Chain A
Amino acid sequence: MQLTVWTYEGPPHVGAMRIATAMRDIHYVLHAPQGDTYADLLFTMIERRQKRPPVTYTTFQARDLGSDTAQLFQDAARDAYERFKPKAMLVGASCTAELIQDDPGGLSDALELPIPVVTLELPSYQKKENWGAAETFYQIVRKLAGPKAPPPGTKPAPRDPARRARCNLLGPTALGFRHRDDLKEISGLLAQIGVDINVIAPFDASPDDITRLGDADFNIVLYPEIAMPAAGWLQRTFGQPMVKTVPIGMGATCDFIREVAALAGVDASALLDDPNSRAPWYAKSVDSTYLTGKRVFVFGDATHAIAAARIATRELGFTVVGLGTYSRELAREVREAAKLYGVEAMITEDYLEVEAAITELNVELLLGTQMERHIAKRLGVPCAVISAPVHVQDYPARYSPQMGFEGANVIFDTWVHPLMMGLEEHLLGMFREDFEFHAEAAPSHLGGAASERRAEPAAAPIADVFALAVETDDDVEVIEAEGPIDPVWSPEGEKELGKIPFFVRGKARRNTEAYAREFGVRVITVEALYDAKAHFSR
Chain B
Amino acid sequence: MSAALAAVPVVVRPKAAGGCSDAPVLKERGQREVFCGLTGIIWLHRKIQDAFFLIVGSRTCAHLMQSAAGVMIFAEPRFGTAIIDERDLAGMSDANDELDRVVAQLLSRRPDIKLLFLVGSCPSEVIKLDLSRAAERLGRSYSPNVRVLNYSGSGIETTFTQGEDACLAALVPGLPATNVKSLMVVGALADVVEDQFRRLFAAIGIADVQFLPPRRSTLLPVVGPNTHYLLAQPFLADTARALEGRGATRLEAPFPLGVEGTTAWFEAAAREWNIPDAKFQAAIAPAATRASAALSRIRHQLAGKRIFFFPDSQLEIPLARFLSRELEMNLVEVGTPFLHRQHLATELEMLPAGTMLSEGQHVENQLDRCRAAQPDIVVCGLGLANPLEAEGMTTKWAIELVFTPIQGYEQAADLAELFARPLVRRAKLAA
Interface residues of A (CB under 8 A from B): 1-7, 9-11, 13-14, 33-42, 44-46, 48-52, 56-62, 64-65, 76, 79, 83, 94-96, 99-100, 123-126, 128, 352, 370, 373-374, 377-378, 391-392
Contact B31 A33 (CB under 8 A): no
Bits for B61-93, please: 1 = Cβ < 8 Å to A, else 0. 011101110110010110011111110110000
Cross-interface CB contact of A99 among B36, B77, B126, cutoff 8 Å: B126
Contact A34 B155 (CB under 8 A): yes
Contact B85 A45 (CB under 8 A): no
17 A-B pairs with CB atoms under 8 Å apart are A2-B85, A5-B80, A6-B70, A7-B63, A9-B59, A14-B60, A33-B155, A37-B33, A42-B67, A45-B386, A50-B386, A58-B31, A62-B154, A64-B156, A96-B122, A96-B156, A370-B71
**B-chain residues with CB within 8 Å of residue A33 when the two chains form the complex:** 36, 122, 154-156
Contact B88 A1 (CB under 8 A): yes
| Stretch of B94-102, B247-255, B291-299 lying at the A interface | B94-102
Cross-interface CB contact of B83 among A1, A51, A96, A391, cutoff 8 Å: A1
CA distance in complex: A58, B106 (Å) = 35
Q: Any chain A CB within 8 A of the CB of B234?
A: no
Cross-interface CB contact of A94 among B60, B101, B384, cutoff 8 Å: B60
Contact A52 B387 (CB under 8 A): yes
Contacts A44-B383, A46-B71, A83-B364 given; indicate if A57 touches B59 (C-beta within 8 A): no
Contacts A3-B82, A4-B80, A124-B58 given; indicate if A51 touches B383 (C-beta within 8 A): no
Residue on B nearest A50 in the bound complex, by CB: B390
**A-chain residues with CB within 8 Å of residue B71 when the two chains form the complex:** 46, 370, 391-392
- Chain B residues numbered 94-140 whose CB sits less than 8 Å from any CB in chain A: 95, 98-99, 101-102, 105-106, 109, 122-123, 125-127
Min CB distance, B190 to chain A, in Å? 23
Contact A3 B105 (CB under 8 A): yes
Interface centre among A65, A83, A96 (most CB of B within 10 A): A96
**A-chain residues with CB within 8 Å of residue B88 when the two chains form the complex:** 1
Min CB distance, A373 to chain B, in Å? 7
CA distance in complex: A79, B365 (Å) = 11
**B-chain residues with CB within 8 Å of residue A5 when the two chains form the complex:** 76-77, 80
**B-chain residues with CB within 8 Å of residue A42 when the two chains form the complex:** 67
**B-chain residues with CB within 8 Å of residue A391 when the two chains form the complex:** 71
Min CB distance, A189 to chain B, in Å? 32
Contacts A7-B59, A7-B62, A124-B59 given; indicate if A35 touches B83 (C-beta within 8 A): no
**B-chain residues with CB within 8 Å of residue A6 when the two chains form the complex:** 66, 70
Residue on A nearest B82 in the bound complex, by CB: A1
Cross-interface CB contact of A95 among B31, B74, B123, B157, cutoff 8 Å: B123
**B-chain residues with CB within 8 Å of residue A9 when the two chains form the complex:** 59
Contact B387 A35 (CB under 8 A): no
CA distance in complex: A65, B59 (Å) = 22
Contact B58 A44 (CB under 8 A): no
Contact A124 B60 (CB under 8 A): yes
**A-chain residues with CB within 8 Å of residue B89 when the two chains form the complex:** 99, 125
**A-chain residues with CB within 8 Å of residue B306 when the two chains form the complex:** none
Min CB distance, B162 to chain A, in Å? 11
Contact B36 A10 (CB under 8 A): no
Contact B74 A3 (CB under 8 A): no
Contact B67 A373 (CB under 8 A): no
Q: Any chain A CB within 8 A of the CB of B269?
A: no
Contact A44 B125 (CB under 8 A): no
**A-chain residues with CB within 8 Å of residue B37 when the two chains form the complex:** 35
Contact B383 A59 (CB under 8 A): no
CA distance in complex: A374, B64 (Å) = 18
Contacts A35-B122, A59-B31, A126-B86 given; indicate if A41 touches B59 (C-beta within 8 A): no
Min CB distance, B326 to chain A, in Å? 31
Residue on B nearest A84 in the bound complex, by CB: B364
Min CB distance, B371 to chain A, in Å? 13
Min CB distance, B69 to chain A, in Å? 11
**A-chain residues with CB within 8 Å of residue B47 when the two chains form the complex:** none
**B-chain residues with CB within 8 Å of residue A374 when the two chains form the complex:** 74, 76
**B-chain residues with CB within 8 Å of residue A79 when the two chains form the complex:** 30, 364
**A-chain residues with CB within 8 Å of residue B33 when the two chains form the complex:** 37, 40
Contact B60 A1 (CB under 8 A): no
**A-chain residues with CB within 8 Å of residue B64 when the two chains form the complex:** 35-36, 38
Contact A38 B123 (CB under 8 A): no
Cross-interface CB contact of B155 among A3, A35, A83, A100, cutoff 8 Å: A35
CA distance in complex: A35, B105 (Å) = 29
CA distance in complex: A6, B76 (Å) = 10
Bits for B298-335, please: 1 = Cβ < 8 Å to A, else 0. 00000000000000000000000000000000000000
Contact B383 A96 (CB under 8 A): no
Q: Any chain A CB within 8 A of the CB of B381?
A: yes
CA distance in complex: A39, B155 (Å) = 13
Contacts A7-B59, A11-B60, A38-B64 given; indicate if A51 touches B35 (C-beta within 8 A): no
Given contacts A3-B105, A10-B59, A95-B60, 14 further A-B contacts (CB under 8 A): A5-B80, A7-B62, A10-B60, A34-B36, A34-B155, A38-B64, A40-B383, A42-B67, A45-B385, A45-B386, A50-B386, A95-B123, A96-B58, A96-B122
CA distance in complex: A11, B382 (Å) = 20
CA distance in complex: A222, B245 (Å) = 62
Q: Any chain A CB within 8 A of the CB of B34?
A: yes
**What 4 pairs across the A-B complex have the smallest Cβ distances?**
A35-B36, A35-B155, A40-B383, A50-B390
CA distance in complex: A58, B31 (Å) = 6
**B-chain residues with CB within 8 Å of residue A37 when the two chains form the complex:** 31-34, 383
**A-chain residues with CB within 8 Å of residue B407 when the two chains form the complex:** none
Interface centre among A39, A61, A79 (most CB of B within 10 A): A61
**B-chain residues with CB within 8 Å of residue A62 when the two chains form the complex:** 125, 154, 156-157
Residue on B nearest A44 in the bound complex, by CB: B386
**A-chain residues with CB within 8 Å of residue B387 when the two chains form the complex:** 44, 49-52
Q: Any chain A CB within 8 A of the CB of B210?
A: no
Contacts A3-B102, A96-B122 given; indicate if A44 touches B156 (C-beta within 8 A): no
Q: Any chain A CB within 8 A of the CB of B159?
A: yes
Min CB distance, A217 to chain B, in Å? 38
Min CB distance, B196 to chain A, in Å? 28
CA distance in complex: A6, B389 (Å) = 31
**A-chain residues with CB within 8 Å of residue B41 when the two chains form the complex:** none
- Chain B residues numbered 7-52 whose CB sits less than 8 Å from any CB in chain A: 30-39
Bits for B376-398, please: 1 = Cβ < 8 Å to A, else 0. 00000111111101100000000
Contact B381 A41 (CB under 8 A): yes
Residue on A nearest B384 in the bound complex, by CB: A52
Contacts A4-B80, A33-B156, A35-B38 given; indicate if A125 touches B86 (C-beta within 8 A): yes
Residue on A nearest B80 in the bound complex, by CB: A5
CA distance in complex: A352, B383 (Å) = 31
- Chain B residues numbered 232-250 whose CB sits less than 8 Å from any CB in chain A: none
Residue on B nearest A7 in the bound complex, by CB: B62
